Amino acid sequence: MRHPLAFADIELVSDTVTLQPLMSNHANELVQLAASSNMSSLWFTQVPNSNTIDSYMATAMAQKHDGSALPLVVVDNKTGKLLGMTRLCNADFTHRRFEIGYTWYGEAYQRTSVNTECKLLLLGYAFEQLNAIAIEFRTHWHNHKSRAAIARLGAKQDGVLRNHKIHPDGELRDTVIFSIIASEWPVVKKSLHYKQQQYR
């Protein structure tokens, strides 16, 4: 059942990127983007390839339909090309808690201003428009690059869920949970704006 406060379709715009709702016609470009950087070969991530894109899209759209997530693509403002994607997910509108997840970028756009700008847009929307009290980030224990990137945002590690998920191949995943709470947002926002300026 769709939550009455479920996400509306939005566009979030910064100087260089725009976050737009995921559409079915994005599928091929997402597969090409992931393949060009071998992202889909990373066993500890959920990046689509030509074999998994249909189920990947179906899951994202089902979450959007039931109001639990808002899947978004990251678009370059100058070229119109897709740079990656992200998602506001695991939405709890009653307690105003949300997760930012399913985030990945093409290899050429990693360690650039793109992630900083996307997180500024999403966190600003969540804290300032949805009145969130906390935003979570979750990642695989073995995804050390992701863990470091989340910590650089200013999120604090809450803990580790041991044997949190069973992957299709039977692997048991430990999940590391980070969060930013509402009272921390002003300082995190200031820090992210500072980091954004360093790329210019």
Q: Is the pLDDT of residue 43 over 60?
A: no
Q: Is the pLDDT of residue 40 over 90?
A: no
Three-class SS of residue 173? Answer: strand
Specify the number of domains making up the chain: 1
CATH of the domain at 22: 3.40.630.30
6 in a structural domain: no
Distance CA 168, CA 73 (A): 25
5 in a structural domain: no
Distance CA 147, CA 144 (A): 5
144 in a structural domain: yes
81 in a structural domain: yes
Q: What is the pLDDT of residues 166-178, one digit of tens each?
A: 987 888 999 999 9
149 in a structural domain: yes
Q: What is the pLDDT of residues 59-102, one digit of tens each?
A: 999 999 999 999 999 999 999 999 999 999 999 999 999 999 99
Mean pLDDT of 181-200: 92
The answer to whether 166 touches 121, Cβ cutoff 8 Å, is no
Three-class SS of residue 152? Answer: helix
pTM, 2 dp: 0.91
Domain of residue 22 covers 12-198
39: confidence class by pLDDT, cuts 50, 70, 90: low
Please provide the DSSP assignment of 10-50 as one string: --EE-SSEEEEE--GGGHHHHHHHHHHTTGGG-TTS----T
152 in a structural domain: yes
